[in-house]
């Protein structure tokens, strides 16, 4: 057990995980070494709320640009 390879994941404290890695993998069972673990393919998490779809991101960028233009105009009008 002590000679087995260790998980390469970082913990929240910044250190490395001390758990043994799953056989044939570089991570322990808690950090993605288990079968079918990890994030879903093609970012299926974004489908839950739609906040990170291309359309939503582009919309936010356009709004930010419009607000930046409005702030710039207000600064010019003040001084």
- Which sequence spans correspond to the domains of the chain? 1-38, 41-78
Q: What is the mean pLDDT of residues 32-55?
A: 75
**Dihedral over alpha carbons 29, 35, 40, 45 (to 10 degrees):** -50
pLDDT tens digits for range 3-16 = 889 988 888 888 88
pTM as predicted? 0.44
> Cα-flanking dihedrals φ and ψ of residue 36, to 5°?
60, 30
Residue 38 pLDDT class (50, 70, 90 cuts) = low
């Amino acid at each position: 057990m002590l000679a087995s390879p260790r998980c390469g994941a970082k913990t929240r404290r910044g250190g490395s995980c001390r758990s043994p890695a799953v056989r044939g993998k570089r991570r322990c069972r808690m950090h993605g070494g288990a079968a079918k673990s990890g994030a879903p393919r093609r970012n299926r998490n974004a489908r839950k709320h739609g906040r990170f779809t291309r359309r939503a991101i582009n919309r936010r960028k356009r709004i930010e640009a419009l607000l930046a233009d409005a702030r710039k105009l207000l600064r010019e009008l003040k001084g």
